[in-house]
Amino acid sequence: MKNLSGPIKFCLVIGSMFLAVLVGAYIAKRPDVSSWPILLIGLLDILGFFVMPFVFRAKEKKEYNSGFCPKCGHLLEHFDTDSGGNQGYCCSHCHKYYIWIGWYDPR
């Protein structure tokens, strides 16, 4: 999921929540199945929806490295913004390190 943009990640989370609701509704209609899978799926969705953005943000903040290239130590410079609003940064010296940031705003 490293190269996915922010809106795509958001759609994946919403899609998984929608799928969980459908599965939960199907399971709830069957009397021979216990209801604990519905609770488990709901808890996993809540975890994914509320916790994963913080995980993605922390991961991007670590990769951004306060704006310095982890390979040579020079500053990263902004080179592009994609249609999803993600910011592209590359090393201004070695040009071997680049990152796309969608969750963390370094400004």
Domains contained in the chain, number: 2
Q: Is residue 70 included in any domain, yes or no?
A: yes
80/35 same-domain check: no
Interval 51-82: pLDDT, tens: 878 888 888 888 888 889 988 999 999 999 98
Interval 4-41: pLDDT, tens: 566 667 777 777 777 777 776 776 666 666 667 777 77
Residue 74 domain boundaries: 65-102
Q: Please tell me the distance from the alpha carbon of residue 36 to that of residue 90, in angstroms, as a whole number.
A: 48
Q: Is residue 107 included in any domain, yes or no?
A: no
Q: Kindly report the pTM of this predicted structure.
A: 0.56
36/76 same-domain check: no
Q: Is the CB of residue 24 less than 8 Å from the CB of residue 38?
A: yes
33/1 same-domain check: yes
pLDDT at 1 > cutoff 60: no
pLDDT at 2 > cutoff 60: no
pLDDT value for 33: 60
CB-based burial of residue 10 (10 Å sphere; 0-12 exposed, 13-18 middle, 19+ buried)? middle
pLDDT value for 3: 57
44/69 same-domain check: no
CB-based burial of residue 90 (10 Å sphere; 0-12 exposed, 13-18 middle, 19+ buried)? middle
Q: Is the CB of residue 105 less than 8 Å from the CB of residue 81?
A: no
pLDDT value for 104: 72
